[in-house]
Chains A and B, each alone.
Chain A
Amino acid sequence: MIAMQLLINSLIAGAIYALVASGFSLIYSTTKIIHFAHGAIIAISAYFLYFLYSILGLNFGFAVILTIIFSAIAGYFSDFLIYKPLRKRKASSIMLLIASVALLILIESIILILFGADVKTIGFIKIAKGIEIFSAIITPLQIFIIVSSIALLLFLFIFMKKTKIGKAMRAVADNKEIAEVVGISSEKIFAYAFIIGSFIAGIASILVGLEQNIEPMMGTNLMIKGFTGAIIGGIGNVPGAILGSFLLGFAENFGIWFLPSGYKDAIAFIILLIFLLFKPEEILGIKKESKK
């Protein structure tokens, strides 16, 4: 059944995009920074895992933990070194956006110099035999990716609703000034947002690195998809971003039923453009609220 296979492929793609979009969206909702370099954080973390596991030969579990820590630290420093000084001198959002694109290119170029342009495989999981579900094929890793993506959604939901940091992050997202009046340091919360968002990026880097080959420009590609997912779901809304990512996965995989498969990536770009051009209210709505 082609439809069943496409359905499963959509779920896998959607889960990967959701992993990218959720961290990105979490950072955006709190800081209002369109952190494109989030994609590059995922890419460099995947290379970090490759370096630890495939080159140094570290124990896989240990390498995974170090990778997630590395990712969170890298995210923290991108805020501390780039965005924080820009915020301090009240840079406009467009300057932050350009800075994030520059940071994305910077990190990707560093990867290119350190590891070269050729694709690498982490190769922890030997090519596993797919399991057949209704005559469609899915590998155990792919099931794991889908499950972790859903688990992450639940974790984020609970984290934002129940924990002190999560509540503070929502308060800052709602209204920075009032949050500061009641004693929440917005700078501290911004740092938390980058650390937690990049922690998710670390998890994404591991799952993507196991499922696909890694290459220096993977960050841009993942970011466009994750960003499109986030835009579809309403950019500052984490559950929305995850849902949007799954919708994008479906649109891409069912889209190539009608279009040549080379256009798979173009589908995301076109959806992104349409949403930005014709449905800006949803995105703008969030902005208005933050300005109140």
Chain B
Amino acid sequence: MIEAYLMHLAILIFIYLLLAISLQISMGFTGLFNLGHIAFYCIGAYVSALLALNGFPFWLSFISAGISALVFGFFIALPTNKLKDDYLALATLAFTFVIYAIALNWTSLTRGPLGLPGIPRPSLFGISFSSNLSFLFLTAFVTLASLFIIKRIVDSPFGKVLEAIRDDETAARVLGKNVFKMKSYALAISAFFAGIAGSLYAYYITFIDPSSFTLLQLIPVLTIVIIGGLASLKGTIIATILIVLLPEPLRFIGFPSSIVGPMRQIIYALILLLILIYKPKGFYGKVELG
């Protein structure tokens, strides 16, 4: 029993970690105020679930989840690149609502509030990942590989340009960098990894519905990124473990599940508020938001 529970937590940690490090690309490294991350996660989850339910192989739905999120990320960046700061935040936030409303109302495709049940567990090269242990390995592999790729991206010259844009956009432009293009790429890459995180989530839970992709889900991810510190991958890893495990004791105190859910939200929201007020750079952050 306890193994199953720990395995579940480990899988959640890896999925959240993937989601948080992908948000770091846009928010932490490029300084884009992207509050639409849950929308990309949602797109990934739905694309992947719909393909899987229609019999497409895992690798194809997984990659498609990432690519479709990437395309949305790129296109949302086109007009929003003109917008700075909090207007980008508002536009991406509104994008989250739009995607949620589509998931809820396009019933012929998404079954609306009923959600999509019975998503098959993935199999790859003849190996089935139907047990939680094998799924844990798969999730760990995907997340660590993504972490490795993201680390390579942010350490590359391209990553340095992104940080230059974050620190001083005008200077980056004067130096002849195509800021507009770079920001679009950053948001698209960020969305790609959020999309594959959504795919993993859909394959793991085997059921998705629109309620998994609301503003409520944004708070823990934002909290992780801000606690860990902007542009710090190390901080993000520590913060993810902390944030996923922190509300777990609530289960053992014996609260009914109707209380545990909101309690968890209260804990996340309070931590986020406290960190914004008292430790705005987080624990390993190089820069402050804004």
Chain A interface residues toward B at CB < 8 A: 34, 82, 85-86, 89, 91-95, 97-99, 101-106, 108-110, 112-113, 116-117, 220, 224, 260, 262-263, 265-266, 269-270, 272-273, 276-278, 280, 283-284
Contact = CB atoms under 8 A, between A and B. Distances in A.
Contact of B101 (A85, A269, A280): A269
Contacts of B277: 82, 85-86, 89, 99
A113 B261 CA distance: 9
11 contacts: A89-B277, A91-B290, A94-B85, A94-B289, A97-B86, A102-B272, A105-B269, A262-B107, A263-B105, A269-B97, A273-B94
Contacts of B94: 269, 272-273, 276
A260 B262 CA distance: 32
B269 A109 contact: yes
Contact of B276 (A93, A98, A105, A272): A98
A103 B276 contact: no
A106 B269 contact: yes
B87 A283 contact: yes
Given A82-B273, A102-B273, A272-B97, A93 B219 contact: no
A108 B261 CA distance: 12
A233 to B, nearest CB: 15
Contacts of A105: 215-216, 219, 265, 268-269
Interface stretch (B59-67, B76-84, B186-194): B76-84
B145 interface: no
B245 interface: no
SS of A interface (majority): helix
B102 interface: yes
Interface of B: 33, 35, 79-80, 82-83, 85-87, 89-91, 93-95, 97-98, 101-102, 104-105, 107, 112, 215-216, 218-219, 222, 226, 258-259, 261-263, 265-266, 268-270, 272-273, 276-277, 280, 288-290
Contact of A93 (B86, B102, B104, B272): B86
A116 B97 CA distance: 24
Contact of B82 (A82, A98, A224, A280): A280
Given A265-B101, A280-B83, A273 B95 contact: yes
Given A92-B288, A93-B290, A270 B258 contact: no
Contacts of B102: 266
Contacts of B276: 86, 91, 95, 98-99, 102
Contacts of A263: 101, 105
A280 B84 CA distance: 10
A93 B84 CA distance: 11
A67 B83 CA distance: 39
Contacts of A108: 265
A110 B33 CA distance: 27
Given A105-B219, A277-B91, 17 more contacts: A34-B86, A89-B280, A95-B288, A95-B289, A97-B86, A99-B276, A101-B35, A101-B93, A102-B219, A102-B276, A105-B216, A262-B104, A269-B94, A272-B97, A273-B91, A273-B95, A276-B90
